[in-house]
Structure 1
Amino acid sequence: MNYLRVLIGAGLAALVTTGLFYLMPLLIEMADKTLDEKPATKIADITMPDREIEANLKEAKPDKPDDPEEPPPDLDQPEIDDVDVNPDAVNMSPNMSTNVNIGLGNGLGGADGEYLPIVKVAPMYPRRANSRGIEGYCTVEYTVTKSGSIKDPVPVDCQPKGYFERASVKAALKFKYKPRVIDGEAIDVLGVQNRFTYELEK
């Protein structure tokens, strides 16, 4: 049965192929002959002229600047003997003022006045106190070291409490002193106090 189907299919394929071979020349004869009679259009030839490309491998280097005839003169360094900072000039806060009172504290008597303040920095007026119109003061106690710096600042008396402690301690840390010297040797001075007064300008 399968062989019969294959034979029938092969016979039909042969008939179709034979029919196509006879049909193709017939279609060619029936085509429009005028299409072949039109003259062919020739495309012009494009020629590029020969050019020589020159590569410039030499780069012009800038001229070396001339050496200066004389070096600039050395500037003399100013000699600073004493430093005095005005606390009113340091404090840049508007519409407020702070006063710095230097106290000798318990570490030095009236006759032993060897250590002296060199740099005094006024504190910044606390924003919270300024916005509420609060005035007051704060006393900070600390140690003047052998190098003249400040160590261990602690607020000991501040009114009203909770407003001026932080600003006062921060300002005290920026103080600089001429250290106390005994028998040619600098020593620490304990119990030095500074009172910062906070007043709003009227």
Structure 2
Amino acid sequence: MTQLIATDYQAPPEALPPKVAPIHMPEVKPTVHRKEPVKKPQELPPPMQPVTVDRRVEPGDIPISFEPPVVTKRKLGPAIVSSDPLPIYKPAPSYPRRALARGIEGYVVVEFTISKNGSVKNPSVVGGYDGSGAPTDIFNSAALNAVERFKYRPLLSEGQPVEKHGVRNRITFKMAE
């Protein structure tokens, strides 16, 4: 404090308040919501005439017989007699890194057998081709790995599952745009 007195302390100059631009407020008019008057209910239809029911029953008029149900020895077959294999699970193959690095797209045709339980047996590559149609084997292992995980509802013949040989599938490898 003594130092301030000794140096002839002067108060800082007063800062002017910042200038504020004039604000233009639009004129606000109160809105009134009008309710529609309640409509009169429709006129009721005329009451129905009561129907007279004859409640007299003669015991001899109604035939009463108690018999056990008739059992037939007819066998019912299964609901699905024959059907083609139906894919249940077909995972997408992983894109090979070499093909991704080179920017190669293509497809592979794979042939396999669908077993009685719906799994894939004996997958083999029929042919692999790049986007221009030239043969390539860059996608073969990825396609085979994906096909081995496929699951199907098996072929049904007369209600029994049967192996289906020679099933072909085309697996396309295309880079995202």
TM-score (norm. length: structure 2): 0.49
Structure number having the greater helix percentage: 1
Q: Which has the larger radius of gyration?
A: 1
